[in-house]
A = this chain, B = another copy of it.
Amino acid sequence: MNALLTSSQRQLVRVISESGPLSRTEMANLLGLSKAAMSGIARELIDLGVLHETETVYGQGRPSVRLDLHPECAFFVGISLLEDPAPMILSDLNGKIIARQAMPLSRDPQVIAQAITEGLPRLLEAHPQAKEKLSGIGVALSGFVDETQSNCVQSTLLGWQDVPLAKIIRECSGVETFIENDAKAVAVSEKLFGSAREIQSFSVVSLGDGIGCAHFIDGKLYRGNHGGAGEIAHCTIEPGGSPCRCGKRGCLDTVSSMKAIKEVSRAEGLECTSLSEIEHEASTGNAAAIRILHRAGSALGLAIANLIQMNDPGMILITHVEGSFDGLFGTVVNQAIETNVLPRYAGQTPIRVKRVDGDVWARGAASIAAHNFLIGPNSN
């Protein structure tokens, strides 16, 4: 099932992946191909089991038959190295999670590869066809990943420097493997499976202990010249502010990350260990809690507003790990975005919020493998 698709086949798969089920004629028009060519390519993909006919649409003339990706034409395993135990899921081509389990996290790549290899049979146990049609493994981690999606250039969390993790897992498990940064993996997942399917340019801002960010530009994940695109966490947001672990001062990370919020709370004498608790304190009128959330929310909103000004994305997706986003913090973020965006564009950029858990990261990881199956590695 690793069969490489021809470039026309991939174009077709891509357009369906973006727009959902389409008739042959619609696709021919979208791709600028003749009906004759479309007919042939569609036939090939149906024979390969990648596409299948879905509903029939009646209008004037002969009804059209919509083609869609066959969700069970390929399966993917996704693993998130963001928590311990590490979630490990099996997903189909719709991003639906078919099976899940967990594996112990390690800092030793070899041990990780071993754990994955041992976990695979159990994950696939009850799904014989997934076993047969397993297309690849995706791994999401916190850190920098090179553009081949094979090497982890640097990860503070895992203590890595130039680790060829994909190769190690591939050799150990015998399955094609790709790795990706966590925020970028979620962005790909949203593009393939989620709310960004039809949006060509959007950004994901992922809020957790740290702050991550990824950009899709003109339908492609944009990594930047040195792989550093999306380093919103170290945008200076409070010039001359608190020192950051990166070496400079006033980074967004020092103000708006969950870690920073909790640290500041502790320093201010609040007995809170989670965002929800701080939110609760704020709702009861605790001035310190209100101040902290205001400061963090304004900073994040300002950074996002600047991102909108710079790049004019078609959507911003804010993912957050803890608590909810409908308290004071979320309100302030949204307000700050509105007040710092050109009035002309205010409200023009949809801001979506999504609470994520381990499954979302793992699904994001799986989507990296799915992307390689659908679009190909040279993201062309």
Contact = CB atoms under 8 A, between A and B. Distances in A.
Interface string A240-262: 00000011100000000000000
A377 interface: no
A309 B217 contact: no
A200 B339 CA distance: 33
A55 B200 CA distance: 42
A279 B274 CA distance: 51
Contact of A310 (B199, B220, B310, B339): B310
A199 B343 CA distance: 33
A339 B343 CA distance: 30
Interface string A285-299: 000000000000010
Interface string A327-352: 00000000000011111110011000
Interface in A181-215: 199-201, 213, 215
B218 A201 contact: no
Interface stretch (A40-48, A81-89, A311-319): A311-319
Contacts of A314: 225
B222 A218 contact: yes
Interface residues of A, number: 46
B312 A246 contact: no
B342 A246 contact: yes
A307 interface: yes
Nearest to A340: B236
A345 B247 CA distance: 12
A236 B238 CA distance: 12
Nearest to A220: B218
A230 interface: yes
A342 B218 contact: no
A227 interface: yes
Nearest to A313: B225
A224 interface: yes
Contacts of A224: 201, 311-313
A128 interface: no
Contact of A305 (B236, B302, B345, B349): B236
A349 B232 CA distance: 16
Given A201-B225, A314-B225, A246 B309 contact: no
A306 interface: yes
Given A222-B218, A348-B226, A342 B248 contact: yes
Contact of A231 (B222, B225, B310, B339): B310
A121 interface: no
Q: Which of A239, A247, A311 has the most CB of B within 10 A?
A: A311
B201 A234 contact: no
A235 interface: yes
Contacts of A201: 222, 224-225
A339 B230 contact: no
A229 interface: yes
A228 interface: yes
30 contacts: A200-B225, A201-B224, A201-B225, A217-B222, A218-B218, A222-B311, A223-B312, A225-B312, A225-B313, A225-B314, A225-B349, A226-B312, A226-B345, A227-B312, A228-B309, A228-B312, A228-B345, A229-B312, A231-B310, A234-B309, A235-B306, A235-B309, A236-B302, A236-B305, A236-B306, A247-B342, A248-B339, A248-B341, A248-B342, A310-B310
Given A199-B225, A236-B305, 4 more contacts: A213-B310, A222-B311, A226-B345, A247-B342
